[in-house]
Amino acid sequence: MDFVKILKLSLLLYCLLFIINVNSWKKCSETFCKRVRNSPANYPRYYLDLDTVVVSSKGVDGYLLSDSQNLHLRLSMYSQTIVNLFVYNRPNMRRHTSEEVLLNSTNVSESWKILKVTSSSITVENGNISAVLFGKPFKIELSINGKLTSIINPQDRLVVETGSQGRAVAIDVSFPGAQRAFGIPQHAENLALRTTTIDNRDPYRLYNVDNGRYNLGSTEALYGSVPVLYAHGIKHSTGVFWSNTAQTWVDITIFPNQVSAFFMSESGFFDLFVYTGPTLAQVVQQYASSTGTAPLPQYFALGYHQSRNSYMTQPEVVEVVEQFDKNELSLDSVWLGINYTDNKKYFTWDPIRFPDPIGLQRQLNYTNRKLIAIIDPHFKRETGYFVHDNATRNKYYIKDYYGSNDYVGKGWPGDSSWIDFKNDNARNYYKSLFSIYYFRAKNVHIWNEMNEPTVFNNPNYENTFNGDLRHVAGIIHRDVHNAYGYEQSMSTFQGLIDRYGSEEDAVRPFVLSRSHYAGSQRFAAIWTGDNYASWDYLEFSIPMCLTSALAGISFCGADVGGFAGIPDDELYQRWYQAGAWLPFFRGNSAADAPRREPYLYSEGVKSRVRAALNERYAHLPYWYTLFWEHTRNGDPVIRPITYQYPDEEDALDVDNQILVGNSILVIPVTQKRTSIVSAYLPGSESEIWYDVNRHIIYHGLGLTPIYVNLDLIPVLYRGGSIIPRKDKPRPSTAATKYDNYTLYVCLDINDEAAGSLYVDDYETYRYKLRKEYLYLGFQYKNNTLTSYKIDEDANYNDAAQIEKIIVLNPSAPAISIRLNGADQKKDETKVTYGEDGTLSVSNLLLNLQKPFTIEFL
Ligand SMILES: *[C@@H]1O[C@H](CO)[C@@H](O)[C@H](O)[C@H]1NC(C)=O
Ligand SMILES: *[C@@H]1O[C@H](CO)[C@@H](O)[C@H](O)[C@H]1NC(C)=O
Ligand SMILES: *[C@@H]1O[C@H](CO)[C@@H](O)[C@H](O)[C@H]1NC(C)=O
Ligand SMILES: *[C@@H]1O[C@H](CO)[C@@H](O)[C@H](O)[C@H]1NC(C)=O
Ligand SMILES: *[C@@H]1O[C@H](CO)[C@@H](O)[C@H](O)[C@H]1NC(C)=O
Ligand SMILES: *[C@@H]1O[C@H](CO)[C@@H](O)[C@H](O)[C@H]1NC(C)=O
Ligand SMILES: *[C@@H]1O[C@H](CO)[C@@H](O)[C@H](O)[C@H]1NC(C)=O
Ligand SMILES: CC(=O)N[C@H]1CO[C@H](CO)[C@@H](O)[C@@H]1O
């Protein structure tokens, strides 16, 4: 080996070490968790002084006393269903981050009433919720409609440190009657969380770190933290949100008929919300009412995204688009990693490799494609770089421990500093950078990465910030660590609107963020981070996104094909087939992975990927409607089966299937050489599951073998649903805009079905500002299909028409139809039967604005 080769090799090795896990992730025993996990040992006991308890319009107030300190307690209630326990030791403590995470739309319910006072407890009631506050030992029992569903501090393990040991807070909560625990993403874990209190296991850790090629089936921390936990069972469900942005560990214990959790945070506030349900769906909706729902995305964001780390030049980007078109593969965007920038300076373009960004965007726009460019929160320390100059001059960077000097660490550009999003001026400055003037980027949406934040070569701090760094106003980083990425994506989202001046002139932003916290759904989609090209990463992507969806963040996907490594052809195809059924659908690969855009593959592979893309695009009217409905009621876009069928004991652990809305059940194939899958079909004998691609009717009889080949994964429509589709294969979402709709009517055992459809202009805020949209309901009953407006006062006159109706399992034969009371002539519509018994009516051209009825005669 010559010297240059050795140099190159050692450089490569150095880079690998530099970027990928230098450090092993900290165990509980290496952090504050070690001492707190032992509570109550070595901690003072608190008791509630019942004489201090007062009930006022604000809630129930009282004092918790111990040998060493007194704490104030307030129990309040929002929207009749959410109970909040706030414990604090200083009256004017700021709840800094939770203030912006929690929506102000939830109303305080004022009507606590004292029901009963004894020498050991006080019982208060508010609507159908009652709380028994016990003095000594202190605990609170919460009941809904007289049924005990949660106990706060059942083991007397409350911790509120104020002294020299630290500033940790901790609480245990138990849930009588619950059978499973879900939530607290992000972990590479099954939907149902495991007991962590046996076998020397570690608690689930919530601490945003850049954990590439993470361990699967693990409690290790990943990129995001959403401290909401659902205790679920076939009888009722309860949720708790531990509103704390510091490093947090959660011990889970699953008993046969009870779930217990112990939340431990390194610092921050004791601020606990209990969502009383009583169903899982209600709990999830209640959580959505306090941290928000995702805004309606642009239609394109639901299409297929092609990324690679990174496309290096302008012609390369154009080439990718051309190849997709040439090979008839649908595509909506091309993604750029940091290499598009001028020497790793965000908000600039490399003058040689991307000499004409505006021209490139225009060229992409011409074929209805978008560019998505990365903007990370670290900025190159280079004098003369306008962002760095301004950030330095105006003190926009995060500071060191002393609060005086800008903190300097390693990012992609080498020495970097980080924007302090806690500083309003810094945040506003960052937002302003998206202006078309600074960042010549109009047809561009944004990818935020490295925002855990990642600091390279900082192994003592797990390659992120030291908790001692200072934000504006003396805020200690440790207290707000898990919300750093949240704040970047919030600022990015607002910056992308501001570049147009106002919502009136804006198109809806699309932001993807790697780091996330509770409430991130209001600004960004997420993905499962730097995964790997192997079957088990494909398998875990399903429960990971289902968990995130329950935790409020529906817009989730995994890098199709795996970020690092090389998928073989079979895995590659299966990943496209599965990825087409997660909300965010993007192929992405690492810098050192060989190119793998679908057009590079053999005809056979390509045609299966094409079919997966076509299936995705055909169902976009349904996906878009689900995202719309999510904005209204907080229902996740994808759901585990137990969400819709909570009383089925056997469904509690099913997390390898995806319910898309409540009407489509998808069974991804995640094992190699699979010829048969064992699907769990819910709903009992009376529920029909219709294999739409192969015209086979199943019933909801639980575990059911379904044969598969390489071409397809099972996609089942629930009997009773009406699914709107646009079946014509097209190069992009925009190209489908005026394509005709087909309604797939899948009857239930009573020959009835219902569904909905949301339509607007796909990209602007006119739906919100001027009610320019259609939200329609469809109902099939008594051999008659009717449409009606769900939102009477909304109008949109540019919608495509319904050309075709397909009834999948008609009972009685129909030979003609009557439309809006008038018999149709033969040449106007065609009524035909397929060999498989489906009934189709084509040539209809129904205007969506006008309600219609179609009788099948
Ligand atoms: C809620 O209100 C507080 C105080 O007015 C404000 O700082 C915060 O941004 C609001 N939160 C949201 C999500 O609007
Ligand atoms: C809160 O109360 C106001 C006024 O009573 C009402 O208009 C609003 O709908 C309530 N919001 C929620 C989330 O219940
Ligand atoms: C409890 O009361 C709230 C508000 O009145 C209601 O929405 C909820 O359905 C009730 N829960 C039960 C189990 O009755
Ligand atoms: C930032 O600083 C540069 C000089 O480096 C200046 O030209 C530019 O106008 C400044 N922009 C803002 C928004 O402060
Ligand atoms: C794309 O092109 C259309 C039609 O020319 C134009 O109206 C639109 O503003 C362009 N969009 C962008 C983001 O450049
Ligand atoms: C819609 O359907 C009608 C009738 O079948 C057909 O003539 C028309 O070309 C279709 N429109 C599109 C955009 O495919
Ligand atoms: C069902 O439809 C038939 C004819 O279309 C009508 O005579 C009958 O009244 C309908 N029944 C109901 C329950 O609506
Ligand atoms: C050639 C080159 O500089 N490629 C880099 C593009 O950016 C990624 C980081 O996102 C690096 O890993 C590549 O080495």
Distance 125 CA to ligand 3 centre (A): 13
* pLDDT class of 94 with cuts at 50, 70, 90: low
Instruction: Determine the pLDDT at residue 657.
Output: 98
Strand ranges of the sheet holding 378-380, from the earlier edge strand across to the other edge: 378-380, 414-418, 409-411
Distance 112 CA to ligand 2 centre (A): 18
Q: Whose CA is nearest to atom 1 of ligand 6?
A: 740
Q: What is the pLDDT of residues 356-405, one digit of tens each?
A: 999 999 999 999 999 999 999 999 999 999 999 999 999 999 999 999 99
Q: What is the pLDDT of residues 766-798, one digit of tens each?
A: 999 999 999 999 999 999 999 999 999 999 999
Q: Mean pLDDT, the chain, as a whole number?
A: 94
Site to probe by mutation for ligand 4, drawn from 347, 381, 386, 498 as the one with most ligand atoms within 8 Å of Cβ, is: 386
Sign of CA dihedral 53, 59, 64, 69: negative
Q: What is the identity of the amino acid at 377?
A: P
Instruction: Determine the pLDDT at residue 23.
Output: 54
Q: How far is CA 249 from CA 161, 201, 226, in A?
A: 16, 12, 12
Instruction: Determine the pLDDT at residue 92.
Output: 52
Does residue 390 line the site of ligand 4, with CB under 6 A?
yes
Around ligand 8, the residues with Cβ closer than 6 Å are 309-310, 337-339, 412, 591
Instruction: Determine the pLDDT at residue 390.
Output: 98
Does residue 487 line the site of ligand 6, with CB under 6 A?
no
Closest CA to 305 of 338, 327, 330, 323: 330
Residue 131, token pair as written in the block: 């709380």
**What is d(CA 511, CA 521) in angstroms, rounded to the nearest whole number?**
10
The closest-lying atom of ligand 8 relative to the alpha carbon of residue 310 is 6
Instruction: Determine the pLDDT at residue 699.
Output: 98
With vertex at residue 68, the alpha carbon angle to CA 62 and CA 70, rounded to the nearest 5 degrees, is 15
Instruction: Determine the pLDDT at residue 105.
Output: 67
Q: Which residues contact 162 (CB under 8 A, 6 or more apart)?
A: 69, 89
Among 15-29, 570-584, 602-616, 824-838, which stretch is predicted with the lowest mean pLDDT?
Answer: 15-29
Distance 346 CA to ligand 5 centre (A): 24
**What is d(CA 637, CA 623) in angstroms, rounded to the nearest whole number?**
8
Asked whether the whole model's pTM tops 0.85, one would answer yes
Instruction: Determine the pLDDT at residue 10.
Output: 47
Give yes or no for residue 9 having a pLDDT over 70.
no
Does residue 647 line the site of ligand 1, with CB under 6 A?
no
The closest-lying atom of ligand 2 relative to the alpha carbon of residue 289 is 13
Does residue 738 line the site of ligand 6, with CB under 6 A?
yes
Q: Whose CA is nearest to atom 14 of ligand 4?
A: 390
**Percent of the residues in the chain that have a pLDDT greater than 90, as a whole number:** 88
Neighbours of 505 (CB within 10 A): 11
Which ligand is located closest to the Cα atom of residue 523?
Answer: 1
With vertex at residue 650, the alpha carbon angle to CA 648 and CA 654, rounded to the nearest 5 degrees, is 105
Instruction: Determine the pLDDT at residue 11.
Output: 44
Closest CA to 771 of 756, 745, 789: 789
Distance 133 CA to ligand 3 centre (A): 22
* pLDDT class of 96 with cuts at 50, 70, 90: low
Does residue 394 line the site of ligand 4, with CB under 6 A?
no
Distance 100 CA to ligand 1 centre (A): 5
Give yes or no for residue 106 having a pLDDT over 80.
no
Q: What is the 3-state secondary structure (H, E, C) of 198-231?
A: CCCCCCEEECCCCCCCCCCCCCCCCCEECCEEEE
DSSP letters, 702-762, are: EEEEEE--TT---EEEETTEEEEE--S--SSSGGGTTPPEEEEEE--TTS-EEEEEEE--S
633: left (phi over 0), alpha (psi -120 to 50) or beta: alpha
Distance 128 CA to ligand 3 centre (A): 6
Q: Tokens 């910030």 appear where?
A: 465
The closest-lying atom of ligand 5 relative to the alpha carbon of residue 362 is 14
Which ligand is located closest to the Cα atom of residue 383?
Answer: 4
Distance 739 CA to ligand 6 centre (A): 7
**What is d(CA 544, CA 541) in angstroms, rounded to the nearest whole number?**
5
**What is d(CA 742, CA 724) in angstroms, rounded to the nearest whole number?**
6
Site to probe by mutation for ligand 1, drawn from 94, 97, 99, 521 as the one with most ligand atoms within 8 Å of Cβ, is: 99
Which ligand is located closest to the Cα atom of residue 426?
Answer: 4
Does residue 742 line the site of ligand 6, with CB under 6 A?
no
**Percent of the residues in the chain that have a pLDDT greater than 70, as a whole number:** 96
Closest CA to 758 of 624, 637, 633: 624
Task: Specify whether the CB–CB gap between 637 and 583 falls below 8 A.
Answer: yes
Q: What is the pLDDT of residues 670-715, one digit of tens each?
A: 999 999 999 999 999 999 999 999 999 999 999 999 999 999 999 9
Around ligand 3, the residues with Cβ closer than 6 Å are 80-81, 127-128, 144-145, 278
Closest CA to 754 of 799, 715, 718, 725: 718
Strand-strand pairing, 774-781 and 784-789: antiparallel
Residue 506, token pair as written in the block: 């804006």
Around ligand 5, the residues with Cβ closer than 6 Å are 365, 442-443
Give yes or no for residue 5 having a pLDDT over 70.
no
Distance 837 CA to ligand 7 centre (A): 24
Q: How far is CA 267 from the centre of its chain?
A: 26
Give yes or no for residue 20 having a pLDDT over 80.
no
Q: Which residues contact 225 (CB under 8 A, 6 or more apart)?
A: 184, 185, 186, 206, 207, 208, 245, 248, 482, 516, 517, 518
Q: How far is CA 415 from the centre of its chain?
A: 32
- Mean pLDDT, residues 247-255 taken together: 98
Distance 500 CA to ligand 5 centre (A): 13
Instruction: Determine the pLDDT at residue 97.
Output: 54
Give yes or no for residue 421 having a pLDDT over 70.
yes
Q: Tokens 């050795």 appear where?
A: 6
Distance 297 CA to ligand 2 centre (A): 26
Q: How far is CA 358 from CA 39, 363, 437, 487, 742, in A?
A: 59, 9, 11, 28, 38
Distance 473 CA to ligand 4 centre (A): 24
Distance 420 CA to ligand 4 centre (A): 18
The closest-lying atom of ligand 6 relative to the alpha carbon of residue 800 is 13
Site to probe by mutation for ligand 2, drawn from 79, 107, 632 as the one with most ligand atoms within 8 Å of Cβ, is: 107
Residue 712, token pair as written in the block: 């397809």
Which ligand is located closest to the Cα atom of residue 94?
Answer: 1
Q: Whose CA is nearest to atom 6 of ligand 5?
A: 365
Q: What is the pLDDT of residues 175-208, one digit of tens each?
A: 999 999 999 999 999 999 999 999 999 999 999 9
Neighbours of 829 (CB within 10 A): 18
b (16+ CB within 10 A) / e for 593-605: beebbbbebeeeb
Which ligand is located closest to the Cα atom of residue 149?
Answer: 3
The DSSP 8-state label assigned to residue 574 in this structure reads H
* pLDDT class of 269 with cuts at 50, 70, 90: confident
Does residue 855 line the site of ligand 7, with CB under 6 A?
yes
End-to-end distance of the chain based on CA atoms, in angstroms? 82
Task: Specify whether the CB–CB gap between 35 and 165 falls below 8 A.
Answer: yes
Task: Specify whether the CB–CB gap between 706 and 714 falls below 8 A.
Answer: yes
Q: Whose CA is nearest to atom 2 of ligand 6?
A: 803
Q: Whose CA is nearest to atom 14 of ligand 5?
A: 443
**What is d(CA 249, CA 202) in angstroms, rounded to the nearest whole number?**
9
Q: Whose CA is nearest to atom 2 of ligand 1?
A: 104
Does residue 99 line the site of ligand 1, with CB under 6 A?
yes
Which domains occur in the chain, in start order?
31-184+226-291 (2.60.40.1760), 299-597 (3.20.20.80), 638-717 (2.60.40.1180), 721-856 (2.60.40.1180)
Instruction: Determine the pLDDT at residue 816.
Output: 86
Instruction: Determine the pLDDT at residue 306.
Output: 98
Does residue 803 line the site of ligand 6, with CB under 6 A?
yes
Distance 103 CA to ligand 2 centre (A): 12
Residues β-bridged to residue 842: 830
Residues β-bridged to residue 781: 784
Closest CA to 505 of 173, 708, 269, 769: 769
Closest CA to 774 of 753, 746, 800: 800
Give yes or no for residue 809 having a pLDDT over 80.
yes
Instruction: Determine the pLDDT at residue 131.
Output: 98
**What is d(CA 364, CA 333) in angstroms, rounded to the nearest whole number?**
9
Site to probe by mutation for ligand 8, drawn from 17, 307, 308, 338 as the one with most ligand atoms within 8 Å of Cβ, is: 338
Which ligand is located closest to the Cα atom of residue 130?
Answer: 3
Q: How far is CA 313 from the centre of its chain?
A: 31
CA dihedral 82, 85, 90, 96 (to 10 degrees): -40
Q: What is the pLDDT of residues 441-498, one digit of tens each?
A: 988 999 999 999 999 999 999 999 999 999 999 999 999 999 999 999 999 999 999 9
- Mean pLDDT, residues 121-149 taken together: 97
**What is d(CA 477, CA 473) in angstroms, rounded to the nearest whole number?**
11
Residue 176, token pair as written in the block: 């009588």
Instruction: Determine the pLDDT at residue 95.
Output: 54
Instruction: Determine the pLDDT at residue 274.
Output: 98
Task: Specify whether the CB–CB gap between 548 and 187 falls below 8 A.
Answer: no
Residue 686, token pair as written in the block: 């009376």
**What is d(CA 283, CA 824) in angstroms, rounded to the nearest whole number?**
48
The DSSP 8-state label assigned to residue 89 in this structure reads S
Does residue 727 line the site of ligand 6, with CB under 6 A?
no
Which ligand is located closest to the Cα atom of residue 817?
Answer: 7
Q: Whose CA is nearest to atom 5 of ligand 4?
A: 386
Does residue 686 line the site of ligand 7, with CB under 6 A?
no
The closest-lying atom of ligand 5 relative to the alpha carbon of residue 370 is 13
Site to probe by mutation for ligand 6, drawn from 727, 740, 846, 847 as the one with most ligand atoms within 8 Å of Cβ, is: 740
